[in-house]
Chain A
Amino acid sequence: MELQHGIIILMGLAMILSAILAMMVKDLISSVIAVGVVSLFASILYLLLQAPDVAMTEAAIGAGLSTLIFLYALHKTKDAEEEND
Chain B
Amino acid sequence: MIKKMFAFILLMFMAIMFYALNSNITENKELFGVARSYAERGAGELGTQNIVTSIVVTYRGFDTLGEVSVLFIAATGVAVLLRRKEEEAPGKRSKRQSSEILQTGTKLLTPIIIMFGVYIFINGHLSPGGGFQGGAVIASAVLLLFLSDINYEINHSLFNIIESFSGAFYVVIGLLGLILLGANNFLDNRILPLGEFGAILSAGAIPVIYSLIGLKVGTELASIIDNMKRD
Residues on A facing B (Cβ under 8 Å): 52-53, 55-57, 60-61, 64-65, 68-69, 72-73, 76, 79
Q: B136 at the A/B interface (Cβ < 8 Å)?
A: yes
> What distance in Å separates the Cβ of A36 from its nearest Cβ neighbour in chain B?
13
**Is B130 in the interface zone, CB < 8 Å from A?**
yes
* Interface size grouping (class) on chain B: 10 to 19
A25 to B85, CA, bound (A): 35
Report if A76-B231 is in contact (Cβ < 8 Å); known contacts: A68-B225, A69-B225. yes
Main SS of chain A's interface residues?
A: helix
Question: Would you mind naming 28 contact pairs between A and B with Cβ atoms under 8 Å apart?
Answer: A52-B129, A53-B50, A53-B52, A53-B128, A53-B133, A55-B128, A56-B120, A56-B129, A56-B133, A57-B133, A57-B136, A60-B136, A60-B137, A60-B140, A61-B132, A61-B136, A65-B136, A65-B140, A65-B225, A68-B143, A68-B225, A69-B224, A69-B225, A69-B228, A72-B228, A72-B229, A76-B228, A79-B231
B187 within 8 A of A: no
Is B139 located at the chain interface by the 8 A CB criterion? yes
A72 to B129, CA, bound (A): 27
Bound Cα distance from A60 to B121, whole angstroms: 13
Tell me how far the C-beta of A42 lies from the nearest C-beta in chain B, rounded to whole angstroms. 15
Q: Which residues of B contact A65 (CB under 8 A)?
A: 136, 139-140, 143, 221, 225
B27-62 CB mask vs A (1 if < 8 Å, else 0) is 000000000000000000000001010000000000
Docked complex: B130-170 residues within 8 A CB-CB of A: 130, 132-133, 136-137, 139-140, 143
